[in-house]
Structure 1
Amino acid sequence: MTNSTELSQAQQSALGFLAATRDAFSRDHMTIWDFHEPSWREYRSSQWYVDRLRAEGFEVEQGTAGMPTAFRATWTGPGGAGPVLAGYAEYDAVPGQSQIAAPYRAPRPGTSHHAAGHTDPHSALGIGQLAGFLAAKHAMERHNLPGTLVFFGEPAEKFCGSKPVHAAHGFYAGIDAAISFHPHSFETLTNGVFWDTTSAAYWSRLYTFECRNPETWQARPDGVVPHPHATARAPGAIDAVCMMYTSSKMLKESMLPHRGSWSLNEFIPVAGQAAADNIAPGYSQIQYSLRAPKLDMCEAVFEVLDRNAAHVAAMTHCTTEARWVTKTRLGLPNHALARATFRNFERVGPPVWSDEARDFARQAHQSINVAPMDDPFIPNLSRLTPPDEAEAAFRSQLPEWQMHFAADDYVEYTWHAPTVRLYVARPTLRMPPEAGRCPEWVRHAMGGTPACIDPMWHKAAEVISVTLVELLTDPTLLRDARAEFEQRTGGGVGGAQWVAPLLPQDFEAPVDYRWPEWVETPRGHEWSVL
Structure 2
Amino acid sequence: MKENKKTAIEEIENKAALICEVADRIWEYAELSLMEYKSCNLYCDKLTQEGFEVEKGICNISTAFKASFGKGKPVIGILAEYDALSGLSQERGVAEKKEFVPKSGEASDAACDRSAESCGGASEKGNTGHGCGHNLLGAGALAAAIGIKKYLSESGSEGTVILYGCPGEEGCASKAFMARDGEWKKLDAALTWHPADCNEVVTGSSNSCIQVMYTFHGKASHASGAPEMGRSALDAVELMNVGVQFLREHMSEKARVHYAITDGGGVSPNVVQPRAQVLYMVRSNHVSEAVELQKRVDKIAEGAALMTETTFDREFIDGLSDTVTNRSLEKVLYSNFEELGVPEHTPEELDFAGRLGRSYEGFGDVPGIGSDFDEEYADSVKALRKTLGEELKLEGVGVYDANSTGTQEGAACPMNDFLLPHYMGYAFEPGSTDVGDVSWVCPTAQIHVAAWPNGCPGHSWQNVSSAGSSIGHKAAIHAGKVLCMAAIDLYENSDLLQEARAEFEKRTASGYVCPIPEGAVAKALDI
TM-score range, shorter chain: 0.7 to 0.9
Change (3 A) 1:93 1:63: same
Please give the secondary structure, in 2, of the residue aligned with 1:72: strand
Structure 2 counterpart of 1:483: 502
Contact preservation (8 Å) 1:377, 1:430: no
Please give the secondary structure, in 2, of the residue aligned with 1:74: strand
| Deviation (angstroms), 1:64 | 2.2
Contact preservation (8 Å) 1:127, 1:457: yes
Q: Deviations over 1:136-171 (max 9, x none)?
A: 112211222221111212111113521111110111
Change (3 A) 1:232 1:144: farther
Q: Aligned partners of 1:299 and 1:9: how far apart in 2? A: 49
Q: Aligned partners of 2:278 and 2:413: how far apart in 1? A: 39
Structure 2 counterpart of 1:524: none
Change (3 A) 1:140 1:443: same
Q: Aligned partners of 2:489 and 2:39: how far apart in 1? A: 30
Structure 2 counterpart of 1:115: 127
Task: For 1:488, give the aligned amino acid.
Answer: R
Task: For 2:202, give the aligned amino acid.
Answer: F
Task: For 1:263, give the aligned amino acid.
Answer: R
Query: Which of 157, 161, 176 lines up with 2:169 in the alignment?
Result: 157
The number of residues matched between the two structures is 463
Query: Which of 495, 499, 502 lines up with 2:512 in the alignment?
Result: 499
Contact preservation (8 Å) 2:88, 2:127: yes
- Please list, as runs of the form range in 1=range in 2, the aligned pairs for 1:426-465 lying within 5 A after superposition: 426-429=451-454, 440-449=460-469, 451-465=470-484
Contact preservation (8 Å) 1:293, 1:404: no
Task: For 1:442, give the aligned amino acid.
Answer: Q
Q: Does 1:514 align with 2:523?
A: no
Contact preservation (8 Å) 1:446, 1:453: yes
Task: For 1:414, give the aligned amino acid.
Answer: S
Please give the secondary structure, in 2, of the residue aligned with 1:322: strand
Structure 2 counterpart of 1:224: none
Please give the secondary structure, in 2, of the residue aligned with 1:151: strand
Q: Does 1:241 align with 2:237?
A: yes
Contact preservation (8 Å) 1:255, 1:300: no
| Deviation (angstroms), 1:464 | 0.7
Query: Which of 181, 185, 190 lines up with 1:173 in the alignment?
Result: 185
Task: For 1:173, give the aligned amino acid.
Answer: K
Task: For 1:445, give the aligned amino acid.
Answer: S
Structure 2 counterpart of 1:330: 322
Structure 2 counterpart of 1:251: 246
Change (3 A) 1:296 1:265: same
Q: Aligned partners of 1:17 and 1:87: how far apart in 2? A: 17
| Deviation (angstroms), 1:11 | 0.9
Contact preservation (8 Å) 2:205, 2:285: no
| Deviation (angstroms), 1:48 | 1.6
TM-score (norm 2): 0.79
| Deviation (angstroms), 1:85 | 0.8
Structure 1 counterpart of 2:363: none
Structure 2 counterpart of 1:100: 91
Structure 1 counterpart of 2:448: 423
Query: Which of 126, 151, 155 lines up with 1:143 in the alignment?
Result: 155
Q: Aligned partners of 2:273 and 2:317: how far apart in 1? A: 24
- Please list, as runs of the form range in 1=range in 2, the aligned pairs for 1:311-326 lying within 5 A after superposition: 311-326=303-318
Change (3 A) 1:271 1:130: farther
Q: Does 1:381 align with 2:373?
A: no
- Please list, as runs of the form range in 1=range in 2, the aligned pairs for 1:359-374 lying within 5 A after superposition: 359-364=351-356, 370=404
Query: Which of 286, 290, 308 lines up with 1:298 in the alignment?
Result: 290
Structure 1 counterpart of 2:74: 83
Structure 2 counterpart of 1:203: 210
Q: Aligned partners of 1:94 and 1:255: how far apart in 2? A: 33
Structure 2 counterpart of 1:265: 258
TM-score (norm 1): 0.78
Contact preservation (8 Å) 1:233, 1:280: no
Task: For 1:326, give the aligned amino acid.
Answer: D
Change (3 A) 1:377 1:10: farther
Please give the secondary structure, in 2, of the residue aligned with 1:420: strand
| Deviation (angstroms), 1:35 | 0.7
Contact preservation (8 Å) 1:205, 1:289: yes
| Deviation (angstroms), 1:200 | 2.4
Q: Aligned partners of 1:366 and 1:200: how far apart in 2? A: 31
Contact preservation (8 Å) 1:232, 1:279: no
Contact preservation (8 Å) 2:87, 2:127: yes
Contact preservation (8 Å) 2:131, 2:459: no
- Please list, as runs of the form range in 1=range in 2, the aligned pairs for 1:221-232 lying within 5 A after superposition: none
Structure 1 counterpart of 2:194: 182
Please give the secondary structure, in 2, of the residue aligned with 1:159: coil
| Deviation (angstroms), 1:279 | 6.8
Structure 1 counterpart of 2:41: 47
Q: Aligned partners of 2:233 and 2:29: how far apart in 1? A: 35
Task: For 2:34, give the aligned amino acid.
Answer: W
Contact preservation (8 Å) 1:243, 1:312: yes
Structure 2 counterpart of 1:346: 338
Q: Does 1:412 align with 2:403?
A: no
Task: For 1:43, give the aligned amino acid.
Answer: Y
| Deviation (angstroms), 1:296 | 5.4
Contact preservation (8 Å) 1:167, 1:501: yes
Task: For 1:461, give the aligned amino acid.
Answer: G
Q: Deviations over 1:396-434 (max 9, x none)?
A: xxxxxxx66432110111122211122222221479xxx
Change (3 A) 1:459 1:479: same
Contact preservation (8 Å) 1:330, 1:404: no
Please give the secondary structure, in 2, of the residue aligned with 1:157: coil
Gaps of 5+ in 2: 102-111, 115-123, 361-402
Task: For 1:463, give the aligned amino acid.
Answer: V
Contact preservation (8 Å) 2:415, 2:454: no
Task: For 1:83, give the aligned amino acid.
Answer: P
Q: Does 1:13 align with 2:1?
A: no
Q: CA RMSD in A?
A: 3.2
Calculate percent identity across the aligned residue pairs: 26
Contact preservation (8 Å) 1:191, 1:423: yes
Task: For 2:420, give the aligned amino acid.
Answer: T
Q: Aligned partners of 1:151 and 1:386: how far apart in 2? A: 28
Query: Which of 471, 477, 486 lines up with 1:467 in the alignment?
Result: 486
